[in-house]
Amino acid sequence: MRFGWKIVVGSIIGFFGAAFGSVGGVGGGGIYVPMLTLIIGFDPKSSTAISKCMVTGAAGSTVYYNLRLRHPTLSMPLIDYDLALLFQPMLMLGISIGVAFNVLFADWMVTILLIIIFLVTSTKAFLRGVSTWKKETLAKEIPVAVAVTLHEAINLYKGRKMIQSKGDDGTNWRALQLLSYCLCGMLAGIVGGLLGLGGGFILGPLFLELGVPPQVSSATATFIMTFSASMTAIEYYLLKRFPVPYAMYFSIVTALSALIGQQVVGKLIKILGRTSLIIFILAFTIFGSAIFLGGTGIFNMIEKIEHHEYMGFANLCKHQN
């Protein structure tokens, strides 16, 4: 590994990608893959594998930072371990499938799937952020005591508090809901293993739809992503899909930048009193990932078409490193 202008530029992009990704709870893989491909010069498959190592570094340091924090309204840790336990098993199952698909699928298939998923999730996250911003603005216009009372009363009436609480009374989800959430967890794992991204790109917006507070959503998604990303990184290592020195270096960069990002955004939230910043960062990161990854994929497809290269499915059994 030799340091040059490519490594410096890549480190800067990876630094900011990890800072935003850790705050949004999405890891930042959508920024890492284009950077590793277009700037550092790795092929798409190796870039995907290295990005998983970078996601692991950022997620690990973020979890370490969040362990000492508490839930914004309830007497419980910031990380919702019950929610994580519900999604984690199916996520891990999906990752194994996704890694196999990464070898099997053609690049153009991955690009189309990526653009569709990311545009949908970023749009939903942005709309959720706008809704939260309006609620925060309204809360600033009325007495705090009244606002808190009404907010808690509405949540209890609609049943939203049962998702966040750890009591026995909060587990009356319908069987169809539980099944759909578990399938979403497996889908997040498949997408993460296939595209080299953290499952937070799917779980983050999903948790927000469940009514989980932005801070808890980000922290819990990152906690889940730590296990899923590390598992994928190990699988890629066993497949010898990435150079270890590059992976170690960029993992250290993302780990440090994730800690800095958490500190800065945490102070901004305290000053402004708007947790919707986390949701907007989530939406911005996902949308930016769709642009960067989609553009990179389209560029690669054009090159393959010009060189008349094979663009069909690969043979998983005959895959060579």
Domain residues for the domain of 68 are: 5-306
Cβ-based neighbours of 278, under 8 Å, separated by 6 or more? 23, 24, 25, 214, 215, 217, 218, 265, 269
Residue 162 lies in a domain: yes
Residue 291 lies in a domain: yes
**Average model confidence (pLDDT) across the chain:** 78
Q: What is the pLDDT of residue 167?
A: 39
Token match 């049962």: residue? 162
Residue 115 lies in a domain: yes
Q: What confidence tens digit (pLDDT) does each residue in 68-124 have?
A: 888 888 888 989 888 888 888 887 788 778 877 877 777 777 778 778 878 887 888
Query: Which ranges of the chain does DSSP label H, i.e. alpha helix?
Result: 5-24, 29-34, 44-66, 81-104, 107-141, 144-158, 161-164, 175-195, 200-209, 214-238, 244-272, 276-306
pTM confidence score: 0.74
Q: What confidence tens digit (pLDDT) does each residue in 170-213 have?
A: 445 567 777 777 787 788 778 766 765 666 777 887 788 777 88
DSSP symbol at 211: T
- Count of structural domains within the chain: 1
- What is the spatial distance between Cα 150 and Cα 152, in angstroms, rounded to a whole number? 6
Token match 């609620």: residue? 135
Residue 215 lies in a domain: yes
Residue 315 lies in a domain: no
Q: What confidence tens digit (pLDDT) does each residue in 7-37 have?
A: 999 899 989 888 888 887 777 777 888 888 8
- What is the spatial distance between Cα 80 and Cα 73, in angstroms, rounded to a whole number? 13
- What is the spatial distance between Cα 129 and Cα 288, in angstroms, rounded to a whole number? 16
Q: At what angle do helices 44-66 and 5-24 cross, to 10 degrees?
A: 50
Residue 316 lies in a domain: no
Q: What confidence tens digit (pLDDT) does each residue in 269-284 have?
A: 888 878 788 888 888 8
Residue 318 lies in a domain: no
Q: Let me know if 192 is exposed, middle or buried by CB neighbors in 10 A (0-12, 13-18, 19+).
A: buried
Q: Using an 8 Å Cβ cutoff, are 186 and 94 in contact?
A: yes
- Between 314 and 240, name the one with better pLDDT: 240
Helix (H) or strand (E) holding 72: none
Residue 139 has pLDDT above 80, yes or no: no
- What is the spatial distance between Cα 180 and Cα 174, in angstroms, rounded to a whole number? 10
Residue 319 lies in a domain: no
Q: What is the pLDDT of residue 169?
A: 41
First to last CA, the chain: 20
* Most trustworthy range by pLDDT among 31-45, 254-268, 283-297: 254-268
